[in-house]
């Protein structure tokens, strides 16, 4: 059996039994390496090398967590939270029809804020630990199904980089264009929005189904002490901040730190440099004492460290799967079944992208793996450049939703499970897999056939 398929099957089965994700990744890597003909020693060495190669990701997430925590000291995030809590608090007293409208609008707002974190203020998932836990108590009172919230967050973490050429979207578009050019089809990154709008439309359709149909019914949660404590801590911090002098200065400093982070990241292409610039502004603004700054930044790093560790483990698995050579074998075997059928070719390429991204948890890392074979195949079958871009972009994005190792699912779980009532696999991965991967398959197929 193909080592990639076997490894991914092991990963999914273990994860569905709610075994810890990092352990599942370790077992999947071991199974994939041995099944792919690697020795035990080589498997361990390759996995370790993969961890080292992804250290930049872990450092980026840690610094973004520190920046997000430091940003709370400015009062900007809490102002947004309090406004939302005030609006939602009033809606708990309204009738069911108005309650439904308020919840849908709230979920769309969550998706919009998540989208901003990818392009306008590219802090990625670092905003989730700040904004989501304080909202859990009021959502519990309104009996909002957290699977709908997870779907809204995941939409905002994926769709923008597919379509919008800014922030993480600019990085994604550049990677697609660069890898296509290297494999014989010269394209410009500016073509990505024209090629990806149909798949992005599929994502939007999935969002509407998730929040308007699948998870619109009330779901009961317990207002656990953890969530109550989170809200109490936010209220206490905001009350203390309100009594401090220079509230306007703190707001200005917060906006300046965001601008510095955004400008630096766009100029350098580095999340580390961007987060460092934002942190530098917060430190220079002297919003905190030295002791408090150290504590705040450390807590912020800790909040994101688990996600960074999972991403490192996923990179280790990806390195093992690449070393087996069975990814290329899987692609080549699928190509052999294509013949001259463009429809079959599209379906197989999309499914391969789904499998690879689900396994390694990174759509950005999937692109170099699939472009090597997909580009020549598309050229041979007569696909247009736009159709080829759409195929590769959609095949890479497929699986980002639903993957146990993806930051697009780990991030929402980190916020929604603050009180221990949200399961990573069944409440985040499975709902997002169903509502986004299926529409992406359908709309990606349409895009490839009509563009």
Is 255 a domain residue? yes
- In which residue are the tokens 């990606």 written? 444
Q: Are 157 and 122 in contact (CB under 8 A)?
A: no
Give the list of residues 6+ apart from residue 255 with CB closer than 8 angstroms, or none. 76
Is 300 a domain residue? yes
Give the list of residues 6+ apart from residue 57 with CB closer than 8 angstroms, or none. 308, 311, 312, 315
pLDDT of residue 225: 54
Is 451 a domain residue? no
Predicted TM-score of the model (pTM): 0.73
Is the model's pLDDT at 295 over the cut of 80? no
- Residue 48: pLDDT band (50, 70, 90) is confident
Is 246 a domain residue? yes
Is 195 a domain residue? no
Report the 10 Å Cβ neighbour count for 177. 22
Instruction: Count the domains in the chain.
Output: 1
pLDDT of residue 236: 54
Q: Are 330 and 2 in contact (CB under 8 A)?
A: yes
Is 144 a domain residue? yes
The closest alpha carbon to 409, from 210, 156, 213, belongs to: 156
Is the model's pLDDT at 75 over the cut of 90? no
* Alpha carbons 9 and 7: distance in angstroms, whole number: 5
* Alpha carbons 254 and 260: distance in angstroms, whole number: 10
- Residue 298: pLDDT band (50, 70, 90) is confident
* Alpha carbons 135 and 132: distance in angstroms, whole number: 5
* Alpha carbons 293 and 282: distance in angstroms, whole number: 9
Exposure string (b/e) for 48-83, b if CB count within 10 Å is 16 or more?
eebbeebeebbebbbbbbbbbbbbbbbbbbbeebee
The closest alpha carbon to 380, from 411, 349, 423, 412, belongs to: 349
pLDDT of residue 142: 84
pLDDT of residue 139: 85
pLDDT of residue 304: 66
Rounded to an integer, the average pLDDT of 177-182 is 82
The share of the chain scoring above pLDDT 90, in percent, equals 18
Is the model's pLDDT at 119 over the cut of 90? no
Residue 5 has which token pair?
């398929």
Backbone Cα Rg of the chain: 22
pLDDT of residue 232: 55
* Residue-number span of the structural domain to which 237 is assigned: 56-163+230-308
pLDDT tens for 135-163 read: 888 788 888 899 999 999 999 999 998 99
Is 336 a domain residue? no
Higher pLDDT, 209 or 308: 209
* Alpha carbons 354 and 262: distance in angstroms, whole number: 31
Q: Are 319 and 53 in contact (CB under 8 A)?
A: yes
The closest alpha carbon to 189, from 218, 166, 212, 211, belongs to: 166
Q: Are 337 and 344 in contact (CB under 8 A)?
A: yes
* Alpha carbons 102 and 303: distance in angstroms, whole number: 30
Is 190 a domain residue? no
pLDDT tens for 200-244 read: 999 999 999 999 899 988 888 886 555 555 555 555 555 555 454
pLDDT of residue 234: 53
């Amino acid at each position: 059996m193909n080592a990639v398929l076997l490894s991914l099957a092991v990963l999914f089965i273990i994860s569905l039994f709610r075994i810890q994700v990092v352990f599942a990744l370790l077992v999947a890597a071991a199974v994939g390496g041995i099944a792919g003909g690697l020795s035990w020693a080589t498997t361990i060495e390759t996995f370790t090398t993969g961890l080292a190669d992804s250290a930049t990701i872990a450092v980026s997430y840690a610094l973004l967590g520190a920046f997000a925590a430091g940003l709370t000291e400015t009062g900007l995030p809490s102002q947004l939270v309090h406004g939302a809590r005030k609006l939602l608090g009033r809606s708990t007293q309204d009738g069911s029809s108005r309650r439904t409208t308020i919840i849908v609008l709230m979920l769309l707002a969550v998706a919009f804020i998540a989208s901003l974190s990818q392009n306008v203020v590219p802090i990625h998932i670092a905003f989730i630990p700040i904004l989501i836990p304080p909202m859990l108590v009021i959502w519990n009172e309104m009996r909002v199904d957290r699977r709908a919230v997870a779907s809204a967050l995941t939409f905002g973490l994926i769709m923008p980089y597919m379509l919008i050429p800014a922030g993480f979207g600019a990085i994604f578009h550049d990677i697609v264009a660069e890898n296509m050019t290297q494999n014989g089809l010269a394209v410009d990154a500016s073509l990505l929005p024209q090629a990806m709008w149909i798949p992005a439309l599929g994502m939007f359709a999935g969002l509407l189904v998730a929040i308007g149909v699948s998870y619109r019914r009330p779901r009961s949660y317990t207002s656990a002490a953890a969530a109550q404590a989170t809200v109490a801590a936010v209220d206490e911090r905001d009350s203390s901040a309100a009594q401090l002098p220079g509230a306007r200065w703190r707001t200005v400093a917060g906006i300046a730190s965001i601008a510095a982070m955004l400008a630096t990241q766009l100029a350098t292409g580095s999340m580390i440099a961007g987060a460092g610039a934002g942190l530098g502004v917060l430190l220079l603004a002297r919003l905190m004492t030295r002791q408090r700054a150290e504590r705040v930044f450390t807590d912020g790093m800790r909040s994101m460290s688990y996600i960074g560790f999972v991403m490192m483990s996923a990179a280790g698995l990806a390195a093992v799967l690449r070393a087996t050579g069975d990814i290329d074998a899987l692609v080549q075997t699928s190509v052999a079944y294509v013949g001259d059928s463009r429809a079959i070719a599209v379906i197989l390429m999309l499914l391969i992208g789904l499998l690879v991204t689900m396994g390694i948890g990174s759509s950005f890392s999937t692109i170099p793996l699939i472009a090597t074979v997909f580009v020549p195949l598309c050229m041979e079958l007569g696909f247009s450049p736009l159709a080829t871009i759409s195929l590769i972009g959609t095949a890479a994005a497929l699986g980002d939703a639903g993957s146990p190792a993806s930051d697009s699912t780990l991030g929402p779980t980190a916020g929604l499970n603050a009180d221990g009532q949200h399961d990573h696999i069944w409440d985040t991965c499975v709902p997002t897999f169903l509502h986004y991967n299926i529409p992406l398959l359908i709309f990606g197929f349409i895009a490839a056939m009509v563009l």
